[in-house]
Amino acid sequence: MKKRIHILTLILLIGSFKAIACDCGYLGGFVYSNQAADIVVYGTVLEYDSIGTHDSPDNPYSMKFLIKEKLRGIENRDTIIVWGDNGADCRPYIEHFKPNTNWILALNKLNKEGKVEYEISICGEFYVPVENGKVTGKIFGWNYEQEKKKYDYQYIKNLVLNPLDYPAQRPEKNLRKTKDGLEYMSNCDRLPQNTLDFKTLNKIVNENLVIPPTFMSCGDSYLIHIKAIIDKNGEFHANGAYGSNKTNELIAIENQISKILRDTGTWKVGYEANKPVASELIIPILLKK
């Protein structure tokens, strides 16, 4: 009896460790999740690159991926290394991606011993298989239980190329404070807005932004999500930007964008229960060169 109790305790502990190791919210279907990635590429799994450890010798941790088409982002190599889960990260297991299969992958940069490699997240729909020109996956909606459906590759490609059509502002309500003590809603019944739409704001930003020559090459694009709080008086307060790979160049670009947005058009307050509230708005900016 004691032996059975010990085994059960061990199983529960292992489950607890896994829950602690990977704890992230669901970012929604592919049309939303892909916007949180540094690059989005279509291509083929060539082979597994890093195989296991002493305790799991057959488990691949990374793979070589051939880029057939770059849909968005800054990457000029044809072949990249992509990392999956090693048992302690919020990533899918690489064995899920069989050699010679085709995928659209939304990836984040990963610094591996001074080299730029990539990782896949499981905190949303960051990868969808492609077979015979068809893409199958959870594309729309914020619910993990949404049904997988099949679409033409060109249709999914157009979704990636036009992120402004699907602003990735999660429909959740939380009362928060900035580091300066400004209290705001992370979402509300009616979001704040500008007298200009997102596409017009993007056009103005791209026309006025000074991009460092080393940041992007011709044909590159880069998606940035600026977070801003619009207070009860309609004043714009920059609240950072999404992304974990912040270089000095990128921080300078984000600061420029925030200033351009602050001074462009007129910002209107959001409403909660028909009352004006300070509220956060997430503004997608697609840079092109």
What is the predicted pLDDT for the residue at 56?
54
Which residue would you say has higher pLDDT here, 85 or 149? 149
What is the predicted pLDDT for the residue at 54?
52
Please say if the pLDDT value at position 269 is more than 50. yes
> For the segment 224-240, what is each residue's pLDDT rounded down to a tens digit?
999 999 999 999 999 98
Structure tokens at 1: 């009896």
What is the predicted pLDDT for the residue at 55?
54
Q: Considering the chain, what is the average pLDDT of its residues? A: 88
> For the segment 193-214, what is each residue's pLDDT rounded down to a tens digit?
999 999 999 999 999 999 988 8
Return the domain boundaries, the chain.
Answer: 30-161, 175-288
- At residue 66, the 3 state secondary structure works out as strand
User: What's the fold here for domain 30-161?
Assistant: OB fold (Dihydrolipoamide Acetyltransferase, E2P) (2.40.50)
Banded pLDDT at 2 (limits 50, 70, 90): very low
- 171-177: average pLDDT: 88
CATH of 175-288, one of 3.30.1150, 1.10.3470, 3.60.9, 3.40.50: 3.30.1150
What is the predicted pLDDT for the residue at 11?
31
Burial, 124: exposed, middle or buried (Cβ in 10 Å; 0-12, 13-18, 19+)?
buried
Contact present, 62 and 90 (Cβ < 8 Å): no
Spatial neighbors of 166 by CB under 8 A, at least 6 apart, are 31, 32, 35, 159
What is the predicted pLDDT for the residue at 6?
38
What is the predicted pLDDT for the residue at 34?
96
Contact present, 124 and 33 (Cβ < 8 Å): yes
Please say if the pLDDT value at position 104 is more than 90. yes
Please say if the pLDDT value at position 281 is more than 60. yes
Fill in the DSSP letter of residue 99: T
